[in-house]
Amino acid sequence: MNQEELIINMGPQHPSTHGVLYLELKLNGEIVLDCKPHLGYLHRSIEKIAENRTYTQFIPFTDRLDYLASMNNNLGYCLAVEKLLNVEVSPRAQYIRVITAELNRVASHLVAIGTFAQDLGAYATPLFYAFRDREKIVEIFDEICGSRLTYNYMRIGGLSGDMTAGMDKSIKDFIAYERKMLVEYNELLTYNAIFLARSKNIGILPKELALNYSVTGPNLRASGVKWDLRKDEPYLLYDKFNFEVPTGIVGDAWDRFKVRLEEIAQSLRIIEQALGALPEGNPISKVNRVFRGTGESYMRTENPRGELGFYIVAEGGFNPYRCKIRSPSFSNLAVLPELIKGLNVSDTVCVLGSLDIVMGEIDR
């Protein structure tokens, strides 16, 4: 048979590339022979901006990295600066940090699940269900910090303000509601025959390849590596809480979906325990707004998409001398060309959706 290679451009304006990602696909008919990702359509050089802002002024910019998990980015940056300057954080602030970060993880995973199902052709229903649930979290955040997407809630040494009175009741209501909904997601999606046919054994990521590519987060755990920074190198208060680390078996798209769904349940457990032990006190930061330090620190935190690292070099000025952001989606996307070789074009969308990337933190 006569084989003709065809090159098509997927993106940068494409509903399934989750942002402005441009994939150059080399095809033989419907089969992908090679894939070349082109990045940079959202490049704002946030690392350069960090060198021209004081430490506190840079916090709002971390919101714009992974815009679906702003709280976790705030947390990672604040922990890195606190590690550099040895700042104490009050217990109440630490508990509220855990609660908000885990709520944001649930919201982020809900978006991942909803858009993944949408990518597979489950038109609108799962997406609307997921966004309906996420809306409740967004309303809680609106009440706590006055913003729906870019929160800018954490400060170096604490938080910008205390949790509003009565918030613990609405969070508890949400936990009870979401547990019921998780059962529904399982009934609706997880073992649905069409969903299984589209995602099972598609885009298998072996364990060794995942480690070599430095893939982290739910994508790594779906490949069967039981590795979670919250469990294995606990930061903040995570060693005080009981929770499991869900893992997959094969490492296909379905496993990545299932791990995210199970992580929501574990996050809800953490939030419940943290709410039960929430101490009294003042969570508002006592650190001056302007300060300086010397030295360097590297801090990793477990974001919904993987391990977010901040490498901060300080040379005594009011601004960081260098601030490198190691974003999880960047390394997770690098493995994509290996996964989709030999698959159909429609499976490219499935694999990309299951990797759950956010272009804001890839391009920075």
Q: Which helix (H) or strand (E) holds 299?
A: strand 294-303
294 binds other proteins (CB under 8 A): no
| 68, 357 Cβ separation under 8 angstroms | no
9 binds other proteins (CB under 8 A): no
Nearer residue to other proteins within complex by CB, 131 or 318: 318
In whole angstroms, the minimum distance from the beta carbon of 338 to other proteins comes to 8
190 secondary structure, DSSP code: I
Nearer residue to other proteins within complex by CB, 277 or 290: 290
168 binds other proteins (CB under 8 A): no
211 binds other proteins (CB under 8 A): yes
Q: Which residues contact 252 (CB under 8 A, 6 or more apart)?
A: 199, 200, 201, 202, 203, 204, 205, 222
* CA-wise closest residue to 98 among 83, 79, 115, 117: 79
330 binds other proteins (CB under 8 A): yes
| 355, 347 Cβ separation under 8 angstroms | no
In whole angstroms, the minimum distance from the beta carbon of 216 to other proteins comes to 9
309 binds other proteins (CB under 8 A): yes
Which stretch, 81-89, 113-121, 208-216, 345-353, contacts other proteins (CB under 8 A)? 208-216
> In 10 A of CB 76, how many CB atoms?
27
318 binds other proteins (CB under 8 A): yes
Q: Which residues contact 34 (CB under 8 A, 6 or more apart)?
A: 25, 26, 337, 341
Helix extents (H) in 120-217: 125-145, 167-185, 193-199, 207-212
Beta bridge partners of 301: 308
CA–CA gap between residue 146 and residue 234 (Å, rounded) = 29
Residues in the chain: 364
331 binds other proteins (CB under 8 A): yes
Which stretch, 64-72, 240-248, 264-272, 317-325, contacts other proteins (CB under 8 A)? 317-325
CA–CA gap between residue 301 and residue 310 (Å, rounded) = 9
| 269, 217 Cβ separation under 8 angstroms | no
30 binds other proteins (CB under 8 A): no
How many residues in the shown chain lie near other proteins by CB under 8 A? 35
- Please provide the DSSP assignment of 195-215 as one string: HHHHHTTSS---HHHHHHTT-
3-class DSSP state for residue 114? helix
Which stretch, 11-19, 128-136, 204-212, 339-347, contacts other proteins (CB under 8 A)? 204-212
Which stretch, 60-68, 90-98, 131-139, 205-213, contacts other proteins (CB under 8 A)? 205-213
Nearer residue to other proteins within complex by CB, 264 or 362: 362
Contact track, other proteins, 35-64, x by CB under 8 A:
----xx--x-x-xx---xxx----------
Of the candidate residues 28, 201, 212, 294, the single one contacting other proteins (CB under 8 A): 212
Looking up tokens 């303000």 gives 161
Which stretch, 97-105, 171-179, 292-300, 349-357, contacts other proteins (CB under 8 A)? 292-300
Interacting residues toward other proteins by CB under 8 A: 39-40, 43, 45, 47-48, 52-54, 209, 211-214, 227, 232-233, 290, 296, 298, 300, 307, 309, 311, 313, 318, 321-322, 324, 326, 330-331, 334, 363-364
